Structure 1
Amino acid sequence: MQNESTDLLSPGSHDVVVDGLNQRYHVHGSGPVCLAVPGGPGVTWTSLRVPAAEEFLTMVYVEPLGTGGSQRLPAHPNGYTRQRYTRSLVGLLDRLSLPRVFLLGHSHGGFVAQHFALHHPDRLSGLVLYGSAPVTGPEHVAESAARVAEFARRNEARPDLPRVLAGLQASGTVTGDEEITAALRDLLPAFFARYWQREEEFRDLRETMTCTYISSVDEDLAPDIIDDRDALPALTVPTLVVVGRYDVPCGPRWARELHTLIPRSRLVVLEDSGHLGHLEEPEVFSRALLDFVRSTSA
Protein backbone atom coordinates (compact mmCIF):
# COMPACT_ATOMS: atom_id res chain seq x y z
CA MET A 1 0.00 0.00 0.00
CA GLN A 2 1.36 3.40 -0.99
CA ASN A 3 1.96 6.00 1.68
CA GLU A 4 0.34 9.42 1.56
CA SER A 5 3.36 11.28 0.14
CA THR A 6 3.63 8.77 -2.73
CA ASP A 7 -0.07 9.20 -3.48
CA LEU A 8 0.39 12.97 -3.47
CA LEU A 9 3.00 12.60 -6.23
CA SER A 10 0.86 10.41 -8.46
CA PRO A 11 0.01 11.84 -11.90
CA GLY A 12 -2.83 14.32 -11.96
CA SER A 13 -4.14 17.28 -10.00
CA HIS A 14 -3.92 17.47 -6.22
CA ASP A 15 -5.06 19.72 -3.38
CA VAL A 16 -3.35 19.87 -0.01
CA VAL A 17 -3.70 22.23 2.94
CA VAL A 18 -0.55 24.23 3.69
CA ASP A 19 -0.57 26.84 6.45
CA GLY A 20 -4.34 26.56 6.60
CA LEU A 21 -4.75 27.41 2.91
CA ASN A 22 -5.60 25.14 0.00
CA GLN A 23 -2.66 24.59 -2.35
CA ARG A 24 -3.29 23.04 -5.77
CA TYR A 25 -0.59 21.49 -7.95
CA HIS A 26 -0.37 19.17 -10.96
CA VAL A 27 1.99 16.20 -11.40
CA HIS A 28 3.23 14.96 -14.78
CA GLY A 29 6.15 12.80 -15.83
CA SER A 30 8.69 10.67 -13.98
CA GLY A 31 12.20 11.06 -12.60
CA PRO A 32 13.70 13.53 -10.11
CA VAL A 33 11.13 16.02 -8.83
CA CYS A 34 11.11 19.56 -10.20
CA LEU A 35 8.75 22.18 -8.79
CA ALA A 36 7.72 24.63 -11.52
CA VAL A 37 6.46 28.08 -10.49
CA PRO A 38 4.73 30.13 -13.22
CA GLY A 39 4.95 33.86 -13.77
CA GLY A 40 2.65 36.81 -13.66
CA PRO A 41 2.03 36.67 -10.80
CA GLY A 42 -1.35 35.14 -11.43
CA VAL A 43 -0.84 33.47 -14.83
CA THR A 44 -2.34 30.00 -15.21
CA TRP A 45 0.05 27.09 -14.60
CA THR A 46 -0.64 25.57 -18.03
CA SER A 47 1.38 28.37 -19.63
CA LEU A 48 4.51 26.78 -18.14
CA ARG A 49 3.85 23.14 -18.96
CA VAL A 50 6.88 21.48 -20.60
CA PRO A 51 5.87 18.01 -21.87
CA ALA A 52 9.39 17.29 -23.17
CA ALA A 53 10.80 17.74 -19.65
CA GLU A 54 8.26 15.28 -18.29
CA GLU A 55 10.17 12.52 -20.07
CA PHE A 56 13.00 12.76 -17.51
CA LEU A 57 11.54 14.76 -14.59
CA THR A 58 8.54 14.51 -12.33
CA MET A 59 7.20 17.99 -12.99
CA VAL A 60 5.14 19.41 -10.14
CA TYR A 61 3.41 22.46 -11.59
CA VAL A 62 2.37 24.72 -8.73
CA GLU A 63 -0.64 27.00 -8.78
CA PRO A 64 0.70 29.76 -6.50
CA LEU A 65 -1.54 31.09 -3.76
CA GLY A 66 -4.24 33.34 -5.18
CA THR A 67 -4.09 31.66 -8.60
CA GLY A 68 -6.42 29.06 -10.10
CA GLY A 69 -7.50 26.44 -7.57
CA SER A 70 -5.16 27.63 -4.82
CA GLN A 71 -6.73 29.67 -2.07
CA ARG A 72 -6.59 33.45 -1.93
CA LEU A 73 -5.04 35.30 0.98
CA PRO A 74 -7.38 37.22 3.29
CA ALA A 75 -5.77 40.46 2.01
CA HIS A 76 -6.29 39.52 -1.67
CA PRO A 77 -5.20 40.99 -4.06
CA ASN A 78 -2.47 42.25 -1.71
CA GLY A 79 0.07 40.41 0.44
CA TYR A 80 1.54 38.06 -2.16
CA THR A 81 5.18 38.72 -1.33
CA ARG A 82 8.06 36.45 -2.19
CA GLN A 83 8.31 35.57 1.49
CA ARG A 84 4.69 34.37 1.48
CA TYR A 85 5.10 32.36 -1.70
CA THR A 86 8.31 30.79 -0.38
CA ARG A 87 6.59 29.82 2.85
CA SER A 88 3.88 27.99 0.92
CA LEU A 89 6.45 26.18 -1.23
CA VAL A 90 8.38 24.99 1.83
CA GLY A 91 5.12 23.78 3.32
CA LEU A 92 4.28 21.94 0.12
CA LEU A 93 7.65 20.17 0.11
CA ASP A 94 7.06 19.14 3.70
CA ARG A 95 3.61 17.76 2.86
CA LEU A 96 5.13 15.80 -0.02
CA SER A 97 7.98 14.53 2.21
CA LEU A 98 10.54 15.84 -0.26
CA PRO A 99 13.83 16.86 1.37
CA ARG A 100 15.35 18.24 -1.86
CA VAL A 101 14.04 19.07 -5.34
CA PHE A 102 14.87 21.02 -8.44
CA LEU A 103 13.09 24.38 -8.57
CA LEU A 104 12.21 26.09 -11.84
CA GLY A 105 10.85 29.62 -11.69
CA HIS A 106 9.63 31.48 -14.79
CA SER A 107 9.36 35.28 -14.91
CA HIS A 108 7.86 36.37 -11.57
CA GLY A 109 8.22 32.74 -10.52
CA GLY A 110 11.95 33.27 -11.02
CA PHE A 111 11.91 36.06 -8.43
CA VAL A 112 10.23 33.66 -6.02
CA ALA A 113 12.71 30.90 -6.87
CA GLN A 114 15.66 33.23 -6.19
CA HIS A 115 14.25 34.11 -2.78
CA PHE A 116 13.62 30.44 -2.00
CA ALA A 117 17.17 29.46 -2.98
CA LEU A 118 18.74 32.24 -0.94
CA HIS A 119 16.82 31.28 2.19
CA HIS A 120 16.42 27.51 1.83
CA PRO A 121 19.40 26.24 -0.21
CA ASP A 122 19.36 22.95 1.70
CA ARG A 123 16.01 22.07 0.09
CA LEU A 124 17.28 22.33 -3.50
CA SER A 125 19.24 20.00 -5.76
CA GLY A 126 19.30 22.69 -8.44
CA LEU A 127 17.76 26.01 -9.43
CA VAL A 128 16.50 27.10 -12.86
CA LEU A 129 15.94 30.83 -13.32
CA TYR A 130 14.04 31.19 -16.56
CA GLY A 131 13.13 34.58 -18.03
CA SER A 132 13.97 36.19 -14.70
CA ALA A 133 16.00 39.12 -13.34
CA PRO A 134 17.84 40.07 -10.13
CA VAL A 135 15.95 43.33 -9.66
CA THR A 136 12.58 45.07 -10.14
CA GLY A 137 11.68 48.75 -9.86
CA PRO A 138 12.64 51.71 -12.09
CA GLU A 139 15.76 50.10 -13.58
CA HIS A 140 13.82 47.02 -14.65
CA VAL A 141 10.94 49.12 -16.00
CA ALA A 142 13.31 51.22 -18.11
CA GLU A 143 14.95 48.13 -19.61
CA SER A 144 11.55 46.60 -20.38
CA ALA A 145 10.44 49.83 -22.09
CA ALA A 146 13.52 49.69 -24.32
CA ARG A 147 12.73 46.07 -25.18
CA VAL A 148 9.12 47.00 -26.02
CA ALA A 149 10.38 49.73 -28.35
CA GLU A 150 12.67 47.20 -30.04
CA PHE A 151 9.77 44.76 -30.42
CA ALA A 152 7.63 47.52 -31.96
CA ARG A 153 10.35 48.41 -34.48
CA ARG A 154 10.70 44.79 -35.55
CA ASN A 155 6.96 44.47 -36.04
CA GLU A 156 5.92 47.94 -37.15
CA ALA A 157 4.14 46.59 -40.24
CA ARG A 158 1.91 44.23 -38.30
CA PRO A 159 -1.71 45.44 -38.17
CA ASP A 160 -2.15 43.77 -34.76
CA LEU A 161 0.70 45.80 -33.20
CA PRO A 162 -1.51 48.61 -31.75
CA ARG A 163 -3.56 45.98 -29.89
CA VAL A 164 -0.38 44.49 -28.42
CA LEU A 165 0.95 47.87 -27.29
CA ALA A 166 -2.43 48.75 -25.78
CA GLY A 167 -2.39 45.47 -23.85
CA LEU A 168 1.08 46.21 -22.51
CA GLN A 169 -0.09 49.63 -21.37
CA ALA A 170 -3.27 48.26 -19.77
CA SER A 171 -1.44 45.49 -17.91
CA GLY A 172 0.11 48.08 -15.62
CA THR A 173 -3.16 49.81 -14.72
CA VAL A 174 -6.02 47.29 -14.57
CA THR A 175 -7.11 45.79 -11.24
CA GLY A 176 -9.52 42.94 -12.00
CA ASP A 177 -9.26 39.33 -13.14
CA GLU A 178 -11.20 39.82 -16.38
CA GLU A 179 -9.32 42.99 -17.21
CA ILE A 180 -5.85 41.55 -16.59
CA THR A 181 -6.77 38.43 -18.61
CA ALA A 182 -7.89 40.61 -21.53
CA ALA A 183 -4.68 42.64 -21.32
CA LEU A 184 -2.57 39.47 -21.22
CA ARG A 185 -4.24 38.09 -24.33
CA ASP A 186 -3.78 41.41 -26.12
CA LEU A 187 -0.07 41.69 -25.31
CA LEU A 188 0.84 38.01 -25.73
CA PRO A 189 2.58 38.37 -29.14
CA ALA A 190 5.22 40.51 -27.38
CA PHE A 191 6.18 37.40 -25.41
CA PHE A 192 7.24 35.58 -28.60
CA ALA A 193 10.13 36.11 -30.99
CA ARG A 194 7.97 35.51 -34.06
CA TYR A 195 4.34 35.22 -32.99
CA TRP A 196 2.77 36.25 -36.28
CA GLN A 197 4.94 33.90 -38.34
CA ARG A 198 3.65 31.04 -36.14
CA GLU A 199 0.20 32.39 -35.33
CA GLU A 200 -1.61 29.16 -36.16
CA GLU A 201 0.53 27.39 -33.57
CA PHE A 202 0.02 29.91 -30.75
CA ARG A 203 -3.45 31.36 -31.42
CA ASP A 204 -5.22 28.94 -29.09
CA LEU A 205 -2.94 29.93 -26.21
CA ARG A 206 -3.73 33.59 -26.82
CA GLU A 207 -7.48 32.94 -26.85
CA THR A 208 -7.56 30.78 -23.70
CA MET A 209 -4.79 32.04 -21.42
CA THR A 210 -6.09 33.39 -18.10
CA CYS A 211 -4.67 35.47 -15.27
CA THR A 212 -5.69 36.46 -11.75
CA TYR A 213 -5.08 40.06 -10.73
CA ILE A 214 -2.48 40.17 -7.95
CA SER A 215 -1.08 43.47 -6.78
CA SER A 216 2.58 44.32 -6.21
CA VAL A 217 2.10 45.48 -2.60
CA ASP A 218 2.19 43.65 0.72
CA GLU A 219 -0.56 43.54 3.35
CA ASP A 220 0.48 47.01 4.56
CA LEU A 221 0.31 48.34 0.98
CA ALA A 222 4.09 48.72 0.77
CA PRO A 223 5.64 47.87 -2.65
CA ASP A 224 7.43 44.51 -2.81
CA ILE A 225 10.56 45.84 -4.54
CA ILE A 226 13.24 43.27 -5.35
CA ASP A 227 17.02 43.67 -5.53
CA ASP A 228 18.98 40.45 -4.97
CA ARG A 229 22.25 41.65 -6.48
CA ASP A 230 24.11 41.86 -3.18
CA ALA A 231 22.88 38.45 -2.01
CA LEU A 232 23.26 36.32 -5.14
CA PRO A 233 27.09 35.98 -5.03
CA ALA A 234 26.63 33.90 -1.85
CA LEU A 235 24.21 31.48 -3.53
CA THR A 236 25.51 27.91 -3.26
CA VAL A 237 22.83 26.07 -5.24
CA PRO A 238 23.77 24.80 -8.73
CA THR A 239 21.98 27.19 -11.06
CA LEU A 240 20.90 27.25 -14.70
CA VAL A 241 19.90 30.63 -16.19
CA VAL A 242 17.73 30.48 -19.33
CA VAL A 243 16.59 33.41 -21.46
CA GLY A 244 15.14 34.04 -24.89
CA ARG A 245 17.14 36.34 -27.15
CA TYR A 246 13.99 38.40 -27.80
CA ASP A 247 12.54 38.33 -24.28
CA VAL A 248 10.78 41.65 -23.61
CA PRO A 249 10.03 41.68 -19.84
CA CYS A 250 13.24 39.91 -18.72
CA GLY A 251 15.75 40.09 -21.52
CA PRO A 252 19.35 38.90 -21.95
CA ARG A 253 20.77 41.81 -19.98
CA TRP A 254 19.26 40.40 -16.79
CA ALA A 255 20.21 36.82 -17.62
CA ARG A 256 23.83 37.85 -18.10
CA GLU A 257 23.73 39.71 -14.81
CA LEU A 258 22.29 36.70 -12.97
CA HIS A 259 24.93 34.48 -14.57
CA THR A 260 27.70 36.85 -13.51
CA LEU A 261 26.40 37.19 -9.96
CA ILE A 262 25.72 33.51 -9.22
CA PRO A 263 28.89 31.45 -8.72
CA ARG A 264 29.39 28.55 -11.15
CA SER A 265 26.03 29.14 -12.83
CA ARG A 266 25.52 28.25 -16.46
CA LEU A 267 23.74 30.42 -19.03
CA VAL A 268 21.64 29.24 -21.97
CA VAL A 269 20.31 31.75 -24.51
CA LEU A 270 17.46 30.53 -26.70
CA GLU A 271 18.33 32.28 -29.94
CA ASP A 272 14.89 32.18 -31.57
CA SER A 273 12.65 32.77 -28.54
CA GLY A 274 11.04 35.51 -26.53
CA HIS A 275 9.64 35.15 -23.01
CA LEU A 276 8.12 31.73 -23.72
CA GLY A 277 11.04 29.77 -25.08
CA HIS A 278 9.74 26.46 -23.73
CA LEU A 279 6.96 26.83 -26.33
CA GLU A 280 9.01 28.32 -29.15
CA GLU A 281 12.07 26.08 -28.86
CA PRO A 282 10.87 23.16 -26.70
CA GLU A 283 13.60 20.75 -27.77
CA VAL A 284 16.42 23.21 -27.08
CA PHE A 285 14.85 24.22 -23.77
CA SER A 286 14.32 20.64 -22.56
CA ARG A 287 17.80 19.57 -23.69
CA ALA A 288 19.35 22.38 -21.66
CA LEU A 289 17.28 21.30 -18.67
CA LEU A 290 18.24 17.64 -19.12
CA ASP A 291 21.95 18.47 -19.40
CA PHE A 292 21.72 20.54 -16.22
CA VAL A 293 19.91 17.82 -14.28
CA ARG A 294 22.39 15.17 -15.40
CA SER A 295 25.45 17.24 -14.53
CA THR A 296 23.99 18.21 -11.17
CA SER A 297 23.08 14.63 -10.31
CA ALA A 298 26.54 13.44 -11.33
Structure 2
Amino acid sequence: MFVEINGNQLAVEVLGPPDAPVLIALHGAPGLGSRAEPRESFGRLADTYRVLVFDARGSGESEGKPPFTHDQWAADVEGLRQWIGAEQIIVAGGSYGGFIAMEYAIRYPERVRAMVLRDTSPDHEHEKLSRENALKSSRVQVDVEKLDRIDNGRVRDNDDLRECWREILPLYDYNYDPAKVEEKVATTPYRYETHNYAFAHNIPNYDVKDKLPSLTCPTLITVGRTDWITPVSCSETIADLIPNSRLVVFEKSGHSPQIEEAELWTDTVRSFLAEVEAQQPA
Protein backbone atom coordinates (compact mmCIF):
# COMPACT_ATOMS: atom_id res chain seq x y z
CA MET A 1 0.00 0.00 0.00
CA PHE A 2 0.98 3.64 -0.31
CA VAL A 3 0.65 5.98 2.68
CA GLU A 4 1.15 9.74 2.56
CA ILE A 5 3.59 10.75 5.28
CA ASN A 6 4.77 14.35 5.56
CA GLY A 7 3.56 15.09 2.04
CA ASN A 8 5.35 12.14 0.44
CA GLN A 9 3.89 8.81 -0.67
CA LEU A 10 5.65 5.87 1.03
CA ALA A 11 5.37 2.21 0.01
CA VAL A 12 4.40 0.43 3.24
CA GLU A 13 3.68 -3.15 4.32
CA VAL A 14 2.32 -4.20 7.71
CA LEU A 15 2.68 -7.78 8.94
CA GLY A 16 1.40 -9.47 12.09
CA PRO A 17 -1.52 -9.18 14.51
CA PRO A 18 -3.13 -5.75 14.95
CA ASP A 19 -2.94 -5.79 18.75
CA ALA A 20 0.74 -6.76 18.99
CA PRO A 21 3.63 -4.43 19.91
CA VAL A 22 4.70 -2.43 16.86
CA LEU A 23 8.16 -2.85 15.34
CA ILE A 24 9.20 -0.45 12.57
CA ALA A 25 12.16 -1.78 10.59
CA LEU A 26 14.32 0.47 8.42
CA HIS A 27 16.31 -0.61 5.39
CA GLY A 28 19.83 0.55 4.66
CA ALA A 29 21.50 2.06 1.59
CA PRO A 30 19.35 5.06 0.65
CA GLY A 31 18.82 4.99 -3.09
CA LEU A 32 19.73 1.29 -3.19
CA GLY A 33 17.82 -0.33 -0.34
CA SER A 34 14.15 -1.21 -0.05
CA ARG A 35 11.68 -2.82 2.33
CA ALA A 36 12.51 -6.27 0.90
CA GLU A 37 15.38 -6.93 3.32
CA PRO A 38 13.65 -5.88 6.58
CA ARG A 39 10.49 -7.69 5.42
CA GLU A 40 12.52 -10.89 5.11
CA SER A 41 14.46 -10.50 8.36
CA PHE A 42 11.94 -8.88 10.71
CA GLY A 43 8.97 -10.52 9.04
CA ARG A 44 10.05 -13.66 10.89
CA LEU A 45 8.84 -11.95 14.06
CA ALA A 46 5.36 -11.20 12.72
CA ASP A 47 3.91 -14.06 14.77
CA THR A 48 4.54 -11.94 17.89
CA TYR A 49 4.93 -8.34 16.68
CA ARG A 50 3.16 -5.99 14.29
CA VAL A 51 5.99 -5.40 11.86
CA LEU A 52 5.93 -2.32 9.63
CA VAL A 53 8.41 -2.15 6.76
CA PHE A 54 8.61 0.59 4.15
CA ASP A 55 10.68 2.10 1.38
CA ALA A 56 12.19 5.29 2.73
CA ARG A 57 11.57 8.60 0.98
CA GLY A 58 13.55 8.48 -2.27
CA SER A 59 14.16 4.72 -2.21
CA GLY A 60 12.47 1.66 -3.65
CA GLU A 61 8.91 2.40 -4.79
CA SER A 62 8.37 5.42 -2.56
CA GLU A 63 7.99 8.95 -3.84
CA GLY A 64 11.16 10.99 -3.87
CA LYS A 65 10.37 14.48 -2.70
CA PRO A 66 13.42 16.04 -1.03
CA PRO A 67 14.91 16.68 1.42
CA PHE A 68 16.80 13.42 1.93
CA THR A 69 18.14 14.44 5.32
CA HIS A 70 18.35 12.50 8.57
CA ASP A 71 15.89 14.98 10.11
CA GLN A 72 13.37 14.22 7.38
CA TRP A 73 13.84 10.47 7.42
CA ALA A 74 13.45 10.40 11.23
CA ALA A 75 10.33 12.58 10.93
CA ASP A 76 8.93 10.10 8.41
CA VAL A 77 9.39 7.28 10.93
CA GLU A 78 7.52 9.37 13.48
CA GLY A 79 4.77 9.95 10.93
CA LEU A 80 4.46 6.19 10.42
CA ARG A 81 4.25 5.66 14.19
CA GLN A 82 1.37 8.11 14.32
CA TRP A 83 -0.28 6.52 11.28
CA ILE A 84 -0.23 3.03 12.78
CA GLY A 85 -1.45 4.37 16.13
CA ALA A 86 1.28 3.11 18.48
CA GLU A 87 2.23 5.05 21.60
CA GLN A 88 5.67 3.44 21.49
CA ILE A 89 7.55 1.37 18.93
CA ILE A 90 10.49 -0.95 18.67
CA VAL A 91 12.72 0.76 16.11
CA ALA A 92 15.11 -1.42 14.15
CA GLY A 93 17.63 -0.64 11.46
CA GLY A 94 20.58 -2.16 9.67
CA SER A 95 23.53 -0.35 8.11
CA TYR A 96 22.34 3.16 7.09
CA GLY A 97 18.96 2.20 8.56
CA GLY A 98 20.80 1.96 11.87
CA PHE A 99 21.89 5.58 11.47
CA ILE A 100 18.24 6.61 11.15
CA ALA A 101 17.11 4.33 13.99
CA MET A 102 19.58 6.06 16.32
CA GLU A 103 18.62 9.49 14.97
CA TYR A 104 14.95 8.67 15.63
CA ALA A 105 15.65 7.45 19.17
CA ILE A 106 17.60 10.65 19.89
CA ARG A 107 14.82 12.90 18.57
CA TYR A 108 11.82 10.95 19.95
CA PRO A 109 13.13 9.07 23.02
CA GLU A 110 9.72 8.82 24.68
CA ARG A 111 8.39 6.91 21.65
CA VAL A 112 11.01 4.14 21.66
CA ARG A 113 10.25 0.96 23.58
CA ALA A 114 13.46 -0.74 22.42
CA MET A 115 16.01 -0.50 19.61
CA VAL A 116 17.63 -3.20 17.46
CA LEU A 117 20.71 -2.23 15.44
CA ARG A 118 22.63 -4.28 12.87
CA ASP A 119 26.00 -3.60 11.27
CA THR A 120 25.96 0.15 11.68
CA SER A 121 28.06 3.04 12.97
CA PRO A 122 27.69 6.05 15.31
CA ASP A 123 29.66 8.39 13.02
CA HIS A 124 31.33 8.63 9.62
CA GLU A 125 34.64 7.14 10.73
CA HIS A 126 33.55 3.82 9.22
CA GLU A 127 34.21 5.36 5.79
CA LYS A 128 37.94 5.42 6.39
CA LEU A 129 37.90 1.87 7.76
CA SER A 130 35.77 0.53 4.91
CA ARG A 131 38.01 2.12 2.29
CA GLU A 132 41.05 0.49 3.87
CA ASN A 133 39.27 -2.85 3.94
CA ALA A 134 38.16 -2.54 0.31
CA LEU A 135 41.62 -1.68 -1.00
CA LYS A 136 43.40 -4.47 0.88
CA SER A 137 40.82 -7.14 0.05
CA SER A 138 42.26 -10.34 -1.42
CA ARG A 139 38.82 -11.33 -2.72
CA VAL A 140 38.60 -8.81 -5.57
CA GLN A 141 40.60 -5.88 -6.90
CA VAL A 142 38.29 -2.89 -6.52
CA ASP A 143 38.17 -0.19 -9.19
CA VAL A 144 39.21 2.87 -7.17
CA GLU A 145 37.35 5.34 -9.38
CA LYS A 146 34.07 3.47 -8.91
CA LEU A 147 34.72 3.15 -5.17
CA ASP A 148 35.29 6.89 -4.98
CA ARG A 149 32.11 7.73 -6.91
CA ILE A 150 29.84 5.59 -4.77
CA ASP A 151 31.55 6.59 -1.50
CA ASN A 152 31.49 10.31 -2.22
CA GLY A 153 28.01 10.56 -3.74
CA ARG A 154 29.19 11.35 -7.27
CA VAL A 155 27.56 8.61 -9.33
CA ARG A 156 26.36 9.92 -12.69
CA ASP A 157 23.01 8.19 -13.11
CA ASN A 158 21.20 4.95 -12.20
CA ASP A 159 23.31 2.92 -14.63
CA ASP A 160 26.51 4.21 -13.06
CA LEU A 161 25.15 3.52 -9.58
CA ARG A 162 24.45 -0.06 -10.65
CA GLU A 163 28.00 -0.55 -11.94
CA CYS A 164 29.56 1.00 -8.82
CA TRP A 165 27.32 -1.19 -6.64
CA ARG A 166 28.42 -4.29 -8.58
CA GLU A 167 32.03 -3.31 -7.92
CA ILE A 168 31.77 -3.40 -4.11
CA LEU A 169 29.15 -6.12 -3.61
CA PRO A 170 31.73 -8.96 -3.50
CA LEU A 171 33.04 -7.46 -0.24
CA TYR A 172 29.82 -7.83 1.74
CA ASP A 173 29.33 -11.51 2.49
CA TYR A 174 31.26 -13.95 4.67
CA ASN A 175 31.32 -16.39 1.75
CA TYR A 176 31.69 -14.87 -1.71
CA ASP A 177 29.27 -16.18 -4.33
CA PRO A 178 29.47 -14.36 -7.71
CA ALA A 179 26.01 -15.64 -8.70
CA LYS A 180 24.46 -14.06 -5.61
CA VAL A 181 26.22 -10.79 -6.41
CA GLU A 182 24.69 -10.72 -9.87
CA GLU A 183 21.26 -11.61 -8.48
CA LYS A 184 21.49 -8.68 -6.08
CA VAL A 185 22.64 -6.34 -8.84
CA ALA A 186 19.62 -7.36 -10.90
CA THR A 187 17.04 -6.98 -8.11
CA THR A 188 18.23 -3.70 -6.56
CA PRO A 189 16.08 -0.58 -7.17
CA TYR A 190 18.40 2.27 -8.20
CA ARG A 191 17.70 5.89 -7.16
CA TYR A 192 20.97 7.72 -7.71
CA GLU A 193 19.82 11.20 -6.58
CA THR A 194 18.97 9.86 -3.13
CA HIS A 195 22.22 7.97 -2.86
CA ASN A 196 24.29 10.97 -3.93
CA TYR A 197 22.66 13.31 -1.42
CA ALA A 198 23.10 10.86 1.45
CA PHE A 199 26.77 10.23 0.73
CA ALA A 200 27.79 13.73 -0.35
CA HIS A 201 25.91 15.70 2.33
CA ASN A 202 24.64 13.53 5.19
CA ILE A 203 27.50 11.17 5.92
CA PRO A 204 30.31 13.76 6.07
CA ASN A 205 28.40 15.47 8.90
CA TYR A 206 27.08 12.35 10.62
CA ASP A 207 28.18 11.87 14.24
CA VAL A 208 25.77 11.00 17.09
CA LYS A 209 28.33 9.78 19.62
CA ASP A 210 27.76 12.67 22.01
CA LYS A 211 24.00 11.98 22.09
CA LEU A 212 23.99 8.20 22.53
CA PRO A 213 24.70 8.26 26.31
CA SER A 214 21.34 10.00 26.81
CA LEU A 215 19.38 7.05 25.40
CA THR A 216 17.59 4.91 27.97
CA CYS A 217 15.82 2.38 25.72
CA PRO A 218 17.06 -1.22 25.84
CA THR A 219 19.26 -1.69 22.77
CA LEU A 220 20.53 -4.78 20.98
CA ILE A 221 23.52 -4.27 18.68
CA THR A 222 24.38 -7.05 16.22
CA VAL A 223 27.27 -7.22 13.77
CA GLY A 224 29.06 -9.73 11.55
CA ARG A 225 32.65 -10.51 12.49
CA THR A 226 33.98 -9.79 8.97
CA ASP A 227 31.78 -6.78 8.16
CA TRP A 228 33.97 -4.68 5.88
CA ILE A 229 31.90 -1.48 5.69
CA THR A 230 30.81 -0.95 9.32
CA PRO A 231 33.39 -3.07 11.15
CA VAL A 232 32.94 -4.56 14.61
CA SER A 233 34.78 -1.62 16.19
CA CYS A 234 31.91 0.67 15.16
CA SER A 235 29.38 -1.50 17.00
CA GLU A 236 31.69 -1.69 20.00
CA THR A 237 31.69 2.12 20.16
CA ILE A 238 27.87 2.18 20.09
CA ALA A 239 27.73 -0.43 22.86
CA ASP A 240 30.17 1.57 24.98
CA LEU A 241 28.05 4.72 24.61
CA ILE A 242 24.46 3.48 25.04
CA PRO A 243 23.99 2.60 28.72
CA ASN A 244 21.36 -0.14 28.44
CA SER A 245 22.81 -2.00 25.47
CA ARG A 246 24.03 -5.44 24.50
CA LEU A 247 26.44 -6.34 21.71
CA VAL A 248 26.36 -9.69 19.89
CA VAL A 249 28.97 -10.54 17.24
CA PHE A 250 28.13 -13.19 14.65
CA GLU A 251 31.28 -15.09 13.84
CA LYS A 252 30.34 -16.45 10.40
CA SER A 253 28.83 -13.31 8.92
CA GLY A 254 29.91 -10.27 6.99
CA HIS A 255 27.58 -7.27 6.71
CA SER A 256 24.40 -9.38 6.88
CA PRO A 257 24.10 -11.79 9.83
CA GLN A 258 20.31 -11.59 9.44
CA ILE A 259 20.85 -13.53 6.20
CA GLU A 260 24.12 -15.41 6.70
CA GLU A 261 23.25 -16.71 10.20
CA ALA A 262 19.52 -16.19 9.93
CA GLU A 263 18.31 -18.65 12.56
CA LEU A 264 20.82 -17.60 15.21
CA TRP A 265 20.29 -13.90 14.49
CA THR A 266 16.49 -14.23 14.66
CA ASP A 267 16.66 -16.21 17.92
CA THR A 268 18.95 -13.52 19.37
CA VAL A 269 16.57 -10.70 18.45
CA ARG A 270 13.52 -12.64 19.61
CA SER A 271 15.10 -13.43 23.00
CA PHE A 272 16.14 -9.82 23.50
CA LEU A 273 12.67 -8.49 22.70
CA ALA A 274 11.05 -11.10 24.96
CA GLU A 275 13.20 -9.78 27.81
CA VAL A 276 12.13 -6.23 26.99
CA GLU A 277 8.46 -7.21 27.01
CA ALA A 278 8.86 -9.05 30.31
CA GLN A 279 10.19 -5.86 31.89
CA GLN A 280 7.28 -3.71 30.68
CA PRO A 281 4.65 -2.71 33.28
CA ALA A 282 1.55 -4.89 33.15
Does TM-score exceed 0.5, indicating one fold? yes
CA drift at 1:146: 2.4
Which residue of 2 is the match for residue 62 of structure 1? Answer: 54
Q: 1:273 aligns with which of 239, 253, 263?
A: 253
Establish whether residue 241 from structure 1 lines up as the match of residue 221 from structure 2.
Answer: yes
Which residue of 1 is the match for residue 237 of structure 2? Answer: 257
Relative distance call for 1:206 and 1:20 in structure 2 (3 A) is closer
Q: C-alpha distance in 2, partners of 1:124/1:85?
A: 16
Q: C-alpha distance in 2, partners of 1:105/1:26?
A: 16
- What pairs up with 1:16-35 in 2 under 5 angstroms? 16-30=3-17, 31-35=20-24
Residues 28-82 of structure 1: CA distance to partner in whole angstroms, max 9, x if unpaired? 3444321111111121221332143334333211211011222112x4xxx3111
Q: C-alpha distance in 1, partners of 2:51/2:86?
A: 13
| TM-score normalised over the length of structure 2 | 0.86
Establish whether residue 36 from structure 1 lines up as the match of residue 25 from structure 2.
Answer: yes
CA drift at 1:110: 0.8
Coordinate RMSD, CA, aligned: 2.3
Q: Is the 8 A contact 2:126 2:231 kept in 1?
A: no
Q: 2:262 aligns with which of 269, 282, 288?
A: 282
Query: What SS does the aligned partner of 2:170 have?
Result: helix
CA drift at 1:185: 3.1
Q: C-alpha distance in 2, partners of 1:112/1:148?
A: 24
Q: Is the 8 A contact 2:99 2:120 kept in 1?
A: yes
Relative distance call for 1:183 and 1:269 in structure 2 (3 A) is same
Which residue of 1 is the match for residue 183 of structure 2? Answer: 204
Query: What SS does the aligned partner of 1:162 have?
Result: coil
Q: Is the 8 A contact 1:164 1:189 kept in 2?
A: no
Q: C-alpha distance in 2, partners of 1:238/1:41?
A: 26
Query: What SS does the aligned partner of 1:230 have?
Result: coil
Relative distance call for 1:16 and 1:195 in structure 2 (3 A) is same
| TM-score normalised over the length of structure 1 | 0.82
Relative distance call for 1:167 and 1:44 in structure 2 (3 A) is farther
Q: C-alpha distance in 1, partners of 2:261/2:227?
A: 13
Establish whether residue 52 from structure 1 lines up as the match of residue 39 from structure 2.
Answer: no
Which residue of 1 is the match for residue 68 of structure 2? Answer: 80
Q: C-alpha distance in 2, partners of 1:223/1:209?
A: 22
CA drift at 1:201: 5.9
Residues 235-287 of structure 1: CA distance to partner in whole angstroms, max 9, x if unpaired? 11111111111111111000000000000200111111111221111111111
Q: C-alpha distance in 2, partners of 1:206/1:94?
A: 35
Establish whether residue 228 from structure 1 lines up as the match of residue 228 from structure 2.
Answer: no
Establish whether residue 15 from structure 1 lines up as the match of residue 13 from structure 2.
Answer: no
Establish whether residue 143 from structure 1 lines up as the match of residue 123 from structure 2.
Answer: no
> Gaps (5+ residues) in structure 2?
none
CA drift at 1:293: 0.7
Establish whether residue 188 from structure 1 lines up as the match of residue 169 from structure 2.
Answer: yes
Which residue of 2 is the match for residue 174 of structure 1? Answer: 155
Relative distance call for 1:166 and 1:248 in structure 2 (3 A) is farther
Q: Is the 8 A contact 1:185 1:207 kept in 2?
A: no
Relative distance call for 1:53 and 1:185 in structure 2 (3 A) is farther
